[in-house]
Amino acid sequence: MKTIGKITVFVLLIALIVPRSFAQDEKDFRFTVKTNPMAALGGPIWFIIVPITGEYRVLFEAKTMEKQSIQVGASYLGPSLLINLDKISASDSSEITGINTSGFRGQLMYKFFLSRDLSAPEGFYVGPHISYATASIVNKNNESDKVKATKININGVLGYQLITSGGFTLDVYTGLGFRIKKWEYPSAIDTDFDFGTSKNTPMVTFGVNFGYAF
């Protein structure tokens, strides 16, 4: 999947460079607001291949210099639309008859734009990206009975941002970095999975967002 993601992003980048007739007509865009509704299917917190959360994000980008911009993001982490854990209940004999999933994510990216004929916030860019996400799965009958997940991503990214003359914005990026992930759970939970160990692993990141520039 990571290889497919890298191939996809480079194909998109090439496709975005070619149709210059759709690019901005010398308009001085300084801000963008972006999101990606598809993130609601699976947010940053996963258990192996199962999405624990869906992400409902808003990103705001502001031009800081001729070839630079800063982007901040805030997200609510709720149940995934793909697998809604909040609607999964155990049997009547269980002490758990329902759960609540909730959390948040914050992220920060600083972009250095490389295209000679374009100024921020359009064109090729590189820069650092960091995000912090945390979410809890809580027993509705006992709020102290919960599993908490925390994830930190630190990446160096390469991307391309297209802005049309009407302000439509498409931002595609990929990059390399590492993630720090930790699970915390009550000692009473009987499980063979080592939730409580922090794990630092290398990762390939891939992102797509779209919105409006002004």
CA pair distance 46, 53, nearest whole angstrom: 7
pLDDT surpassing 70 at residue 15: no
CA pair distance 187, 191, nearest whole angstrom: 10
Number of domains in the chain: 1
**143 HSE (CA, 13 A, CB side):** 1
pLDDT at residue 162, rounded to an integer: 96
Residue ranges in the chain assigned as alpha helix (H): 2-17
The secondary structure of residue 23, as a DSSP letter, is B
Tell me the residue length of the chain.
Answer: 214
pLDDT at residue 48, rounded to an integer: 76
pLDDT at residue 200, rounded to an integer: 78
The structure tokens listed for 149 are: 């997940």
CA pair distance 127, 65, nearest whole angstrom: 14
Tell me which residue range forms the domain holding 181: 2-213
Mean pLDDT value across residues 114-133: 95
Q: Are 110 and 127 within 8 A, CB to CB? A: yes
pLDDT band at 122; cut points 50, 70, 90:
very high
pLDDT band at 96; cut points 50, 70, 90:
low
pLDDT at residue 21, rounded to an integer: 41
pLDDT surpassing 80 at residue 24: no
The structure tokens listed for 136 are: 């809890």
The enclosing domain of 188 has a CATH number of: 2.40.160
Secondary element (H or E) of residue 180: strand 168-184
For 138-163, the pLDDT digits (tens) are 877 777 778 889 999 999 999 999 99
pLDDT > 70 fraction of the chain, expressed in percent and rounded: 75
pLDDT surpassing 50 at residue 47: yes
pLDDT surpassing 50 at residue 18: no
